[in-house]
Amino acid sequence: MRHARQHAETKTRERRYRLAHEAARLIAESGIRDFHQAKLKAAARLGIHDDASLPRNREIEDALREYQRLFQGEFHGDSQAGELRRRREAALRALDFFGDFDARLVGPVLEGTADANSPVHLQLYTDDADSVPRFLEEHRIPAESRGRRVRLDRERAVDAPTWLFSAEELTFDLTVLPHDALRQAPLSSIDEKPMRRASAAQLQALLAEEEVAGFEGDAGQARAP
């Protein structure tokens, strides 16, 4: 009985691993942005339909990092790193531009999992949600209105106004949240933990660290025989 249970648990772990990596591949290659959609599509492709085998979003994110390192890192490493840095530099300019709203960078661009299809996700904090579309209109920025359900904490959730616009050949995704949400990051839809966020100063520091690391890496390669 114990052996049979262990065997079943091993098979479930194997299926979760396969599903996580297939979902990661779909996200990387097909441009699917929604982890749940990628998970279900992967399950359909692999013919795995038991709920116990469905991986958590964090498992998919880890598999996505591994996929990017193994495949995109090997064949497109320079271009992928360049795309990520281009998005982070654009995000820094956007954080400065939306500074009156205590803007924060979140999502794949900050986490380092962004690809050529990833929008730049910003969170803006204000108790006057209408001030954001007014600000966009004042600066003649055409934007598309959307909505997004955001969990502020374990007990509270809000339907947050969202605005999408294009600049510098990139898509920017703005989520407008109450100002008191600035005190504690909203919960991530990936692992239900507080989101990682970065202010303009924090992102500037991150870019500086990357530049130093890149310089040291280039110097090390130059010294290698």
Q: Are residues 111 and 198 in the same domain?
A: yes
Q: Are residues 48 and 99 in the same domain?
A: no
Residue 206 lies in a domain: yes
CA distances from 170 to 21, 50, 84, 115, 144 (A): 27, 38, 12, 12, 14
The encoded tokens of residue 148 equal: 């997004």
18-56 burial by CB neighbour count: b if 16+ within 10 A, else e? Answer: bbbbbbbbbbbeeebeebeebbebbbeeeebeeeebbbe
- State the pLDDT at residue 14: 84
- State the pLDDT at residue 127: 95
Domain range for 11 is 2-55
Q: Looking at the 3D structure of the chain, how many domains does it have?
A: 2
Residue 72 lies in a domain: no
Give this prediction's pTM.
0.68
- State the pLDDT at residue 110: 93
Query: Which residue type, as a one-letter code, is found at position 82?
Result: G
Q: Which residues of the chain have pLDDT under 70?
A: 1-8, 31, 33, 68-80, 213-225
Q: Are residues 191 and 87 in the same domain?
A: yes
- State the pLDDT at residue 75: 38
- State the pLDDT at residue 7: 62
Condensed to tens digits (0 to 9), the pLDDT of residues 113-153 reads 887 778 999 999 999 999 999 999 999 999 999 999 999 98
Q: Are residues 92 and 50 in the same domain?
A: no
Residue 66 lies in a domain: no
- CATH code assigned at 197: 3.30.460
- State the pLDDT at residue 219: 47
Residue 60 lies in a domain: no
